[in-house]
Amino acid sequence: MILLQILLLNLLPLYYTSLPSTNANKCACATDNVNVRTGSGTNYSVIGILRTNQCVNKTGHFVDNVGTKWASVVFKDKLGWIASNWLTDPITGGSITGCPKIIPRSEWGAMEPRGIVRKFTSQTLPTFVILHHGATESCHTEEECSKMVRNYQRFHMNGWSDIGFNFVIGEDGNVYEGRGWQEIGVHTVGYNSVSLGIGIIGDFTSRLPNEAALNATKQLVKCGFDNGYISPNSTLIGHRDVGSTACPGTRLWELIHSWSHYNENGIVV
């Protein structure tokens, strides 16, 4: 027994030094109680629960499993995996994978979809990102913007199964989850099945969205590219580039000409 204890004590330093080095800059915190698993998927066993607002150090490794990003973390001196959509950066409040803050449907008060909503697959990732404006009044607080997104959803559900946009962005700087990354939207005739539709709340015919909304839009698009939700060869366009419409407003449409991946002819580059 004594020899076994000595052996274990000698092995402990080797075990700890085999774990990735961590520091405060690599911290991630749970948005709700979430299971920590032995591998990157729900079929792996649970080694513990990270409680709401508790934080762990992440190793920097991510794995995509059936559309979900899993983050490798150090949990109670063990290597574990957590679905990254349950983790946030404690400094920025954004996703640990570089995404902006996304307000989930449950928080802005979404109604359940009516009928079947089709989904993208790993073989049919969006090859276009299409920007829209709501052509409505703007909003500048989460309360105001949540109300506007609910209005959009009610209007869209007069003829569609759910809100048409994949994401909606307010001038409060928040991104509101519409159909999300995986479900096909209804926003651009002829392009829905091959595009991600992003709507910005407001009318941008004669003015630009504020800096908070523009930054959130850019960060959301980058998030889609960086995390494999959008094809790496995707093209960024405005709604009017592929339809007879003034959307996304003249001022916003002129601005996005200078953005990365923009191509007014709708050609994948």
- Tokens at residue 160, please? 């569609």
| Predicted confidence (pLDDT) at residue 236 exceeds the cutoff of 70 | yes
pLDDT at 111: 96
> Cis peptide before 126, with omega less than 30 degrees from 0?
no
pLDDT at 19: 37
pLDDT at 95: 64
* Structural domains of the chain in order of their starting residue, each with its CATH number: 22-88 (2.30.30.40), 102-258 (3.40.80.10)
> How confident is the model over 10-33, as pLDDT tens digits?
433 333 233 333 343 468 888 878
Task: Return all residues near 209 (Cβ < 8 A) that are at least 6 apart.
Answer: 169, 171, 200, 202, 217, 252
pLDDT at 96: 64
Better pLDDT: 195 or 267: 195
Percent of the chain with pLDDT over 70: 84
pLDDT at 88: 82
pLDDT at 87: 85
| Predicted confidence (pLDDT) at residue 192 exceeds the cutoff of 80 | yes
In 3D space, the residue among 199, 204, 206 whose CA is nearest the CA of residue 170 turns out to be 199
| Predicted confidence (pLDDT) at residue 239 exceeds the cutoff of 90 | yes
| Predicted confidence (pLDDT) at residue 226 exceeds the cutoff of 90 | no
| Predicted confidence (pLDDT) at residue 206 exceeds the cutoff of 90 | yes
Better pLDDT: 141 or 41: 141
Question: Please, what is the average pLDDT of the chain?
Answer: 84
- Please state the pTM of the whole predicted model: 0.66
> How confident is the model over 151-189, as pLDDT tens digits?
999 999 999 999 999 999 999 999 999 999 989 999 999
CA 62 vs. chain centroid, Å, equals 15
